[in-house]
Each structure stands twice: as C-alpha cells, then as structure tokens.
C-alpha cells in the first residue's frame, strides 16, 4: 500500500546505448531446470491471495518454509511468527537463517513482504489470483510487487546451498505479512525480534530494479539507499452547528476548505541529502534542457530553491526534493439540513529522511491555522529514518550483478524512493538497508504494481534468481 512499487523508469537512456533486440524475448541465462523450479514456485505463490483480511498469510509462509526445508535448511532455523496486522487481522512474519559454519562477519538481512494489495476480478482483464503466462510475461497480482522477490531470494539461497557454497556470514530472510498495511512485522523485527534480525546491513527485495525503454535501450537500475517516512495527519474543523436555514460566516466545512487551499499552495523547504546529490549528479548527465540545468544548479548550490522548484515540477522527479503532503480523504457534516458540526480531511505526507513527523505536524498546523486541529493518524506513527552512508561493497555487488546480466550500458544510480517499505524500520535503528532487487520491465508499459493487470517479463523473473545468487555469493564469500 505504501510503497510506490515502480521500476526506475522514465529517465533518459544513455546516448551510447543502442537497441539490439527486445529484452523481453531474449532468453535468460538461468539453467532450464532452475527455470522450471522457479516457475512452479512462482505459480504457487501468486495463486495464494495474500491480501488483508483473507487469512492466507500462514499458507504463504508455510509454502516458503517448505521450500527452504526441501532445500536443506534446518527446521529449527525457520520461524513463522504470528502477530497482529491491521486491527482484527492477524498475520505472520517468516524469519529464516542460513548459518555459516565459521562466521567471520555480521549477518546479511534480506527483506521482503509476502502480502499484496487487493485486486478485484471485475476490474481486471483476467482473474488476478490465477497465474498466467502469455506474450513473454507472467501475469497476476504480486508478480511485480513483490512475490517475484520472495521467490528469487528464496531460490537463490537454495541454489547456492545446492552448489556447495559456504557463506562466511549468516544470511537471514525476513519476510513480513503486513507491509502493505500495518507494518507491525517490520516494527517487531527491528525491535523485539532484534536478536533474530540483527545484521551488518540489509538487502531489500522490495526496492531497486531497472527498466528498458520501448525500443529496448537500457535506462538504468536504481539502488534505493533512502526512503521517505510515511505519515497521515487529520485536519479537523469543529463548529457549534445549527439550522441550515440560518447560515453563518463560521462553518466547519468552509474553514476546512480554506485550510486545504493553503495546504495546496504550501511548499516545504528543499533538502539535498547525500543520496539526492548522488542521484541528481547522475541524472544531470542525461538531461540536456532546463531540467538538466536545474539539476546541475541545485547540486552546485543546495540553497538554490528556484532550481529545486523546477526539478520538483517535473513529473519524473515529484517528491525527490522535499517533503510532500496532499489531501487524500474528506468527510464532514451530519445532515443536509444542518450546519456542519465537524469536517475532517486526511492529509498524507511523505517526509524527507531525517525529519521528525512532529516537525512536519507543527508546520502543517501553522499552514492550517488556529481554527483547525492537526493530529497524526494514531493507527500508524511513522519513524524518521536517517540517510545512512552508502556501503561501497553493496553498490559494487549490485552493479556487478546488474551489468553481468544486462551489459555495461545499464547504469546503477543511488536513489531515494518516495514510497515506504519495511526497510524504514531497520534504518531507524541504525541498520543500513538498500533496495537492490534485480527485477526489471519496459517503461512505462510494465509499471503496474498496485494497478490493473500486473505483470513481469518471464526473463526478469528468471534473471532475478541469478541476480540474487550473484549478489549473495559476492557479499558472503
């Protein structure tokens, strides 16, 4: 629900890249026997409707656990942890550990989530929970976000184990069942279950990824090195009300509407983080017009607010330069013949790393004015996350895997995702986490996560197994 689960897309391709063939139709380098194992596992995973309030998460977790046990993982190192998801909707988180015989380094934590957003049969061209393969694609809810990552990371570990690989550090799988809703699994994993998840760093299968344009040219892969904090606030106006035949200037709905218009015009101060600097430095190499000029100006002078405003106004870069808040829900009044006694709006904010939600609340209160109460949604209090340093070994491993599968023309760019994943909870307690999945698609045609007729190229699924095998081997050897 919170993650904008899109491929890194829409960015200009490098001028040196030329289309050789359609990447969707190119064969994968994954061995045929492993392709068959991947497809069978993926089909089973997609056909379990792991949406909120269907109580299918234990079944999904057991599917993963059974695969790990069949792949040689000790049963005592695989835990299915029941816990509360959204109120009244219990769920589970799976934690599995591959123990190194002689661990020389702190563990690696691999993150993912088993739940998906709801999908209605009447809206889709086909049954969203019926696995399909057609036209070079796997189709179904969760193919892109993100059962592909669950399948790829699980099978990569099994593949490494069967090959005789012996890691020099423990490798931990951490798959939650409520990332799209309450994120209580991530909260528990980063706090009360910390002894099971503590690691040198995390690799997030729910982040990163890459894209090609429609001509088959490589665009890039993004390595998510930072995330915004998710927080909803409620704007509430209250009034003594009265009879609608005797209207007064004071009116809860009008007061709320005035506050929302002020919010619409408000702009938070731009912030250039270290990840933002790395991202816009690379992006500026591709952009040749006013947008590229603005990127170069802002990198050179982070106080150039006018340049940041130009960047923010671009459809490709919305949310990359500052905190953004937008009205998303509205309710008010109690009868058509009565003056409203209250009116309320939900305002969803995506807050820049390192900024406290309480600081944003205070700024929103100043914008809304004294007549409006501004309070955070009590059902979900976001955690501010710092921008932790990029780890050169992770960037190198990700780049090597990407370019081995996609060629040297496919660049890797550090990125701050404007969505939110479970990684935020681990970053908030000092564990650096990087979105480094190997999934890819054609931009913009395959950007369907959380949307209709979700799909993933068949080759991308198979490539992702190889991608994770390469990365884990590189970082645990």
For 90-142, the pLDDT digits (tens) are: 999 999 999 999 999 999 999 999 999 999 999 999 999 999 999 999 999 99
Cis geometry, peptide bond prior to residue 47 (ω within 30 degrees of 0): no
Per-residue confidence at 382, pLDDT binned at 50, 70, 90? Answer: confident
Mean pLDDT of 299-307: 98
Contacts of 268 (CB under 8 A, 6+ apart): 322, 323, 324, 325, 352, 360, 363
Contacts of 157 (CB under 8 A, 6+ apart): 68, 71, 73, 98, 171, 173, 472
- Tell me what pLDDT residue 8 has: 42
pLDDT over 90 percentage in the chain = 91
395 within 8 A of 203, measured Cβ to Cβ: no
Domain with CATH 3.40.630.10 in the chain: 32-228+387-475
CATH number given to 229-268+323-376? 3.30.70.360
- Tell me what pLDDT residue 20 has: 61
Nearest-angstrom CA–CA distance, 177 and 147: 12
pLDDT over 70 percentage in the chain = 96
355 within 8 A of 387, measured Cβ to Cβ: no
Helix (H, G, I), strand (E, B) or coil at 348: strand
Q: Look-up: residue for tokens 């990569």?
A: 156
> In degrees rounded to 5, what are phi and psi of residue 204?
-100, 115
Q: Look-up: residue for tokens 């049969």?
A: 121
Q: Which pTM does this prediction carry?
A: 0.92
What distance, in Å, lies between the first and last C-alpha atoms of the chain?
A: 36
Mean pLDDT of 190-209: 98
Mean pLDDT of 298-321: 96
Domain with CATH 3.30.70.360 in the chain: 229-268+323-376
Q: Look-up: residue for tokens 């619409």?
A: 264
Per-residue confidence at 383, pLDDT binned at 50, 70, 90? Answer: confident
- Give yes or no for residue 14 having a pLDDT over 60: no
- Tell me what pLDDT residue 3 has: 37
- Give yes or no for residue 319 having a pLDDT over 60: yes
Mean pLDDT of 411-422: 93
Which runs of consecutive H residues, i.e. helices, occur in 10-102? 32-46, 57-70
Give, as one character, the DSSP assignment of residue 141.
Answer: T
Q: Which range is least confidently modeled, 121-135, 232-246, 370-384?
A: 370-384
- Give yes or no for residue 35 having a pLDDT over 50: yes
Nearest-angstrom CA–CA distance, 81 and 75: 14
CATH number given to 32-228+387-475? 3.40.630.10
- Tell me what pLDDT residue 86 has: 87
């Amino acid at each position: 629900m919170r993650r904008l689960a899109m491929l890194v897309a829409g960015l200009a391709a490098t001028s040196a890249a030329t289309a050789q063939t359609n990447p969707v139709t190119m064969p994968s380098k994954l061995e045929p026997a492993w392709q068959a194992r991947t497809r069978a596992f993926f089909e089973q995973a997609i056909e379990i409707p792991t949406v909120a309030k269907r109580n299918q998460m234990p079944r999904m977790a057991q599917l993963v656990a059974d695969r790990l046990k069949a792949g040689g993982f000790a049963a005592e190192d695989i835990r299915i942890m029941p816990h509360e998801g959204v109120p009244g909707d219990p769920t589970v988180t799976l934690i599995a550990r591959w123990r190194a015989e002689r661990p020389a380094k702190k563990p690696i934590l691999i993150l993912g989530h088993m739940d998906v957003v709801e999908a209605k049969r009447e809206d889709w061209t086909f049954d969203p929970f019926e696995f399909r393969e057609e036209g070079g694609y796997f189709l179904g809810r969760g193919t892109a976000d993100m059962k592909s990552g669950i399948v790829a990371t699980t099978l990569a570990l099994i593949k490494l184990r069967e090959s005789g690989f012996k890691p020099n550090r423990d490798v931990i799988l951490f798959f939650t069942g409520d990332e799209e809703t309450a994120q209580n699994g991530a909260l528990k994993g980063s706090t009360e279950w910390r002894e099971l998840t503590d690691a040198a760093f995390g690799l997030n299968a729910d982040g990163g990824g890459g894209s090609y344009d429609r001509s088959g040219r490589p665009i890039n892969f993004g390595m998510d090195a930072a995330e915004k904090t998710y927080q909803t606030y409620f704007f509430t106006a209250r009034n003594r009300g009265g009879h609608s035949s005797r209207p007064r200037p004071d009116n809860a709905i009008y007061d709320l509407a005035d506050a929302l218009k002020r919010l619409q015009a408000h702009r938070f101060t731009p912030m250039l983080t270290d990840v933002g600097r790395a991202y816009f430095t690379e992006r500026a190499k591709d952009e040749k017009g006013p947008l590229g000029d603005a990127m170069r100006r802002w990198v050179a002078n982070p106080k150039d607010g006018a340049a940041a405003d130009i960047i923010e106004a671009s459809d490709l870069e919305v949310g990359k330069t500052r905190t953004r808040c937008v009205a998303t829900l509205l309710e008010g009044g109690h009868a058509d013949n009565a003056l409203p006694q209250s009116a309320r709006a939900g305002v969803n904010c995506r807050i820049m790393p390192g900024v406290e939600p309480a600081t944003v609340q205070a700024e929103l209160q100043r914008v809304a004015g004294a007549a409006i109460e501004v309070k955070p949604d009590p059902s979900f209090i976001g955690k501010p996350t710092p921008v932790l340093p990029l780890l050169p070994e992770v960037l190198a491993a990700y780049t090597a895997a990407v370019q081995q599968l996609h060629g040297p023309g496919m660049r890797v760019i550090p990125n701050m995702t404007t969505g939110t994943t479970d990684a935020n909870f681990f970053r908030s307690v000092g564990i650096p986490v990087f979105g480094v999945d190997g999934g890819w698609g054609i931009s913009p045609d395959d950007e369907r996560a959380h949307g209709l007729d979700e799909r993933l190229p068949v080759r991308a699924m198979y490539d992702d197994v190889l991608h994770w095998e390469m990365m884990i081997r590189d970082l645990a050897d």
